[in-house]
Structure 1
Amino acid sequence: MTHHGPQLITYADRLAGDLPGLRALLDGALAGAFDGVHVLPFYTPFDGVDAGFDPRDHTQVDPRLGTWDDVRALAQGRDVMADVIVNHVSADSARFRDVREHGDASPHAPMFLTLGAVFPDGATEDDLARIYRPRPGLPFTVMTLGGRRRLVWTTFTPDQVDIDLRTPQAWEYLTSVVDALTSGGVTMLRLDAVGYTGKEAGTDCFMTPATDAYTERIVEQARARGAQVLVEVHGHHTQQIEIARKVDLVYDFALPPLVLHALTAGDLEPLAGWLRIRPANAVTVLDTHDGIGIVDVGPSDLRPGEPGLLAPERIDALVERIHENSGGTSRQATGAAASNLDLYQVNCTFYDALARDDRRLVLARLLQLFVPGIPQVYYVGLLAGSNDMDLLARTGVGRDVNRHHYTAAEVEAALTAPAVRGQLAGLRLRSTHPAFDGDFTWDLDGTRGTFVRTSGAARATLTFDVADGSFEVRATGDDGERVVLTDADLTA
């Protein structure tokens, strides 16, 4: 049975060294705060060109991190979420290496997408210009397959080769991944980059009807094995609402930029607009291993003529405020300034995006915790981390500013910081108080707001003012209602 309390999002190695270390941290210093954990790719290798999202072997735990027994041990008493990387595999995988050597004679050749596989009659200029891609340029890489030069479909990087879900070879592969994860104790599957799987001639090759069919097939496989599915798609907010009707869980990617807008512009109106229409079967986040999504609140070419949750000028102002709040470090990590870029994201820790303001960071987390859904908390945000410019300098990968490698001493020190202690107090309330199993009501007026969760006689209330970052959390208990946390506690 899936819990609905908070989950930690983390790399095993970057927070705790390995899987046993992660379990020890969750059972130790973080005890009572999290009902689950999303372990970012721990497959072989976990440290590839895209931080594990380019697995050579998606069915094996990298032995440097542990074993499947360690994953099963981690799952004792908590939910474990893991990624099913649906769209692509490593160009260095055994299957694709065989295709490189033997070309069409390889039994695995149908599994991998080339330009000709989608456009057998050739592609026109209009066909190519229509293809949706989150990065500059066309999604093709010239490779030699069996002695023949081919245009291989590579949506993200040349090291990640897209697979063709129209073929039995692709489904044999994906089924083996789902089997490995669910037999290893994983009960929640996150479908990574699934929106790009439904490539069809005559479309923009993103979120097509074929994508829906593939997603439904994986959802059926997961449910048959006792697992739930979370779909990861960045796009226009109306798409998220539509996807939510078809799957177990969808990300609320609109919440982070709307919370940032509220706390940096003193404007709650766009957040109120989203609260009126957002799906409740959501996983909520503030920051993740990727950047802070902007496309999720703006207008989109995917929905021509439909407005976003934030007008373009407000988005521009928000991005500029993030850059200013971070002392310009996010500007160095975002867009064309850094490789492995996504045009729709700002690369920055949430703490730096809020100018390292403890009150605003804790208030942002409390807003997330009170909104309906399963709250997921990224390890760098939890530990009030700042942009890792040294790591960015070493890798040149923009998103690495928010992917710090913590030592045990750094974790221990961070856990004493006021912004971290405040978040943990909110997380432990969210994880244990029965009010969060019930209804959500809210009132926003000017810069002030009230969020209330109730279930029977149980009640938890958050009152706040985004103008100055002040807040108070009250909750019922055996001795009546009490104050759980206020902004003043962060400086006490």
Structure 2
Amino acid sequence: MSIKDNLLQRVQQQLEFIYAEVELNISYLDFSKMLVETITQYSDLQQPEPHKNLWTEKDAILITYGDSITQYDSQHNVLEKPLHTLHRFLNDYIAPTINSVHILPFYPYSSDDGFSVINYVSVNESLGEWSDVNAIAKDYNLMADLVINHCSSRSLWYANFKKGKGIGHDYFMPGDPNWDLTQVVRPRTSELLKLAKTKKGEKFVWCTFSHDQVDLNFQNPNVLNEMVNIIAFYIRQGVKVFRLDAVAFLWKKPGTSCINLEETHEAVRLFRTLIEHVAPNAIIITETNIPNRENLAYFGNANEAHCIYNFSLPPLLINTLLTGNNRYLKQWMMSMPPAQNGTCYFNFIASHDGVGLRPAEGLLSDKEINELVGTIQSFGGRVSLRTLPDGSTRPYEMNIALYDALQGTTKGPDSFNEARFLCAHAIMFAMEGIPGVYIHSMIATQNDYEKVKHTNSNRSINRHRWDELELIQKLNDDTHHNRIFNGMRHLLKVRTKQKAFHPNATQFTLHINEQVFGFWRQSMDRKQSIFCIFNITDELISLTLAEINLVVTDNWWDLVTGNEINDTQEIIELKPYQCMWISNVNS
């Protein structure tokens, strides 16, 4: 059977599963041919290799908006397109320690800092144009958002919906107040259904996130084909990593939770099938800010997402460093299954969004979550809420710059901010998976209260826009920005040289005590071992080599400092928040 015939057969089987309860006006065979023709419009078919790791220890992803760094004149006028500025900053300050970049939605948008897309195939002209995106994609592995669940109420599609004709007029998910929507899981407090005035009368549409973000109706085959068309276009533009935004909400079915439905999982598998047959080295990352067990399901059987966001890591790691106790972080790490070859975790501590609390459900008690939220609020953070099915509200995420979130402990602010911050990243960089570093963590940006005031959005607190010259000055002066930036670059530079830090290398949790967090990594060829040891408290701690199972007959080095640990040394003293990557290979 040819590659094309095999692909058509697989796609048809997947469509039959997804649309089993939908009356289609097209046969499954014709539907399959349409999708295959769409995905191959710019690329030839290729045979994907199953269970292939598309990443190494050299991979790390910088997360940034296209205008996080902008060049201004003295009157605060923008002097050049921000994508030019970003590309220069990447080349001058980020390379070669980070080889990939996630540019958050760079399309025309109407709200939510890009996640309410007006036009999926255009670049926001205030940022630049496709040639600027192409140039960055030539120098770095480019990760881009496929905002798949919804689009802007100011889009041409929605305008055509109101007119009742034209492309997009039937793209949106209808709603009915008489449906059973009591079980629908919501990440927001706004009303789920929005009343729209159209040429054909008043109609309700589904809005999971906001009334400016109208949900797309994937029960319409044309919507699925439109998304495949956009994917094919992005591949042509140099996108290597596809971030499926809010994909857990893709399929709706009244009387259910409308999240993580089997049709949604099969749709992700379908996207994987189509993408890997035209771009075998492309990667799908699912953005599913949900409880841990549900999140893990997006790996499928190594046939769904290549990577999943490790959403439980940020709240657990922050909680560990604020309390000085690693019990919950250790329990979670011990419970996490190793990723199969061809899949891996995407680790992060901070992002453009807040620190999600749903992924901590079942891992931290309500009391511990409330204490965590209280500490973050005392450090100047904000808290965003979601509405439960019974109409009550619950904390959904904490909004704060990570540098400020780690300014102290539950006892209050202290002098260990920088050490604690670097400790958090040393843990994340050493873990199984690919590390993602938010640009404002890389340069230790603090809370932006002015932007919150201006936008009236809690998430703006961690979305500062830097003036390029001001930032470069701070990175060159003796500032906390300079010290953190250089500390982060040092850790990343060391990391990229260690085969034991391959995203799929073996990982075992160490049992030391609740004040010292530790795990062991071993390279896939078993030639390198690294004992990763972290003092997660504000006190000096002494350890014996036996407590970390170090075989003193071998030669060992702390990769962070470059110091050798010899066989006469019986005690290791760890300063507050000190990190050690102890390896039998000095590189």
**Alignment TM-score > 0.5, same fold:** yes
* Displacement of 1:463: 2.0
What is the distance in 2 between the residues matched to 1:29 and 1:436?
23
- AA in 1 matched with 2:315: P
- AA in 2 matched with 1:10: T
Aligned match for 1:65, one of 127, 137, 159:
127
* Displacement of 1:457: 3.8
The equivalent residue for 1:32 is 96
What is the distance in 2 between the residues matched to 1:470 and 1:224?
54
Partner SS state of residue 58, structure 1: coil
Q: Tell me if the contact between 2:181 and 2:254 (Cα under 8 Å) persists in the aligned partners.
A: no
The equivalent residue for 1:322 is 376
The equivalent residue for 1:264 is 322
The equivalent residue for 1:310 is 364
What is the distance in 2 between the residues matched to 1:98 and 1:265?
53
The equivalent residue for 2:297 is 242
Aligned match for 2:252, one of 199, 203, 217:
199
The equivalent residue for 1:476 is none
* Displacement of 1:459: 4.4
Larger Rg: 2
Percent identity, please.
27
Is 1:165 aligned to 2:218, yes or no? yes
Matches within 5 A, 1:80-119: 80-101=142-163, 103=164, 105-106=165-166, 108-116=168-176
What is the distance in 2 between the residues matched to 1:405 and 1:77?
23
Q: Where does the alignment leave 5 or more consecutive residues of structure 1 unmatched?
A: 117-121, 299-307, 473-478
What is the distance in 2 between the residues matched to 1:188 and 1:129?
36
- AA in 1 matched with 2:309: Y
- AA in 1 matched with 2:319: H
Q: Tell me if the contact between 1:6 and 1:430 (Cα under 8 Å) persists in the aligned partners.
A: no
What is the distance in 1 between the residues matched to 2:174 and 2:474?
47
What is the distance in 2 between the residues matched to 1:224 and 1:106?
31
Show CA shifts across 1:177-232 (max 9, x none): 10121111111100001111110122111111121122222222222231211011
Partner SS state of residue 122, structure 2: strand
What is the distance in 1 between the residues matched to 2:69 and 2:556?
38
- AA in 2 matched with 1:217: L
The equivalent residue for 1:377 is 437
What is the distance in 2 between the residues matched to 1:16 and 1:460?
40
Matches within 5 A, 1:360-439: 360-416=420-476, 417-437=482-502, 438-439=505-506
Aligned match for 2:557, one of 444, 467, 481:
481
* Displacement of 1:470: 7.3
Tell me how many residue pairs correspond in the alignment. 457
Report the TM-score when normalising by structure 1: 0.87
What is the distance in 2 between the residues matched to 1:77 and 1:387?
31
* Displacement of 1:297: 1.1
Q: Are the structure 2 counterparts of residues 266 and 312 from structure 1 closer, same or farther at C-alpha, using a change threshold of 3 Å?
A: same
The equivalent residue for 1:349 is 401
* Displacement of 1:2: 4.3
Matches within 5 A, 1:326-337: 326=379, 329-331=380-382, 334-335=384-385
Q: Are the structure 2 counterparts of residues 439 and 470 from structure 1 closer, same or farther at C-alpha, using a change threshold of 3 Å?
A: farther
* Displacement of 1:109: 2.6
What is the distance in 1 between the residues matched to 2:67 and 2:124?
11
Show CA shifts across 1:238-270 (max 9, x none): 112222233211110100111111101111111
Aligned match for 2:85, one of 16, 21, 25:
21
What is the distance in 2 between the residues matched to 1:111 and 1:470?
60
The equivalent residue for 2:288 is 233
Show CA shifts across 1:394-423 (max 9, x none): 110110000000111332144352222212
Deviates more, 1:401-410 or 1:56-65: 56-65
Partner SS state of residue 359, structure 2: coil
Q: Tell me if the contact between 1:114 and 1:152 (Cα under 8 Å) persists in the aligned partners.
A: yes
Is 1:464 aligned to 2:513, yes or no? no
Show CA shifts across 1:24-67 (max 9, x none): 2222111222121111001124xx31111111111122233223
What is the distance in 2 between the residues matched to 1:266 and 1:65?
42
- AA in 2 matched with 1:42: F
Is 1:292 aligned to 2:292, yes or no? no
Q: Tell me if the contact between 2:121 and 2:233 (Cα under 8 Å) persists in the aligned partners.
A: yes
Q: Are the structure 2 counterparts of residues 310 and 146 from structure 1 closer, same or farther at C-alpha, using a change threshold of 3 Å?
A: same
What is the distance in 2 between the residues matched to 1:489 and 1:206?
39
Q: RMSD of the TM alignment (CA)?
A: 2.6
What is the distance in 1 between the residues matched to 2:475 and 2:522?
30
What is the distance in 1 between the residues matched to 2:533 and 2:399?
30
Aligned match for 1:274, one of 318, 321, 332:
332
Q: Are the structure 2 counterparts of residues 452 and 21 from structure 1 closer, same or farther at C-alpha, using a change threshold of 3 Å?
A: farther
Partner SS state of residue 94, structure 2: coil
What is the distance in 2 between the residues matched to 1:67 and 1:141?
33
Q: Tell me if the contact between 1:387 and 1:401 (Cα under 8 Å) persists in the aligned partners.
A: yes
What is the distance in 1 between the residues matched to 2:540 and 2:60?
23
* Displacement of 1:391: 0.4
* Displacement of 1:488: 9.0
What is the distance in 1 between the residues matched to 2:85 and 2:356?
30
Q: Tell me if the contact between 2:284 and 2:305 (Cα under 8 Å) persists in the aligned partners.
A: yes
The equivalent residue for 2:479 is none
What is the distance in 2 between the residues matched to 1:111 and 1:15?
36
Q: Tell me if the contact between 1:80 and 1:188 (Cα under 8 Å) persists in the aligned partners.
A: yes
What is the distance in 2 between the residues matched to 1:273 and 1:53?
34
Show CA shifts across 1:317-345 (max 9, x none): 11111112x1xx213x6449xxxx99410
- AA in 2 matched with 1:257: P
What is the distance in 2 between the residues matched to 1:489 and 1:273?
20
- AA in 1 matched with 2:370: D
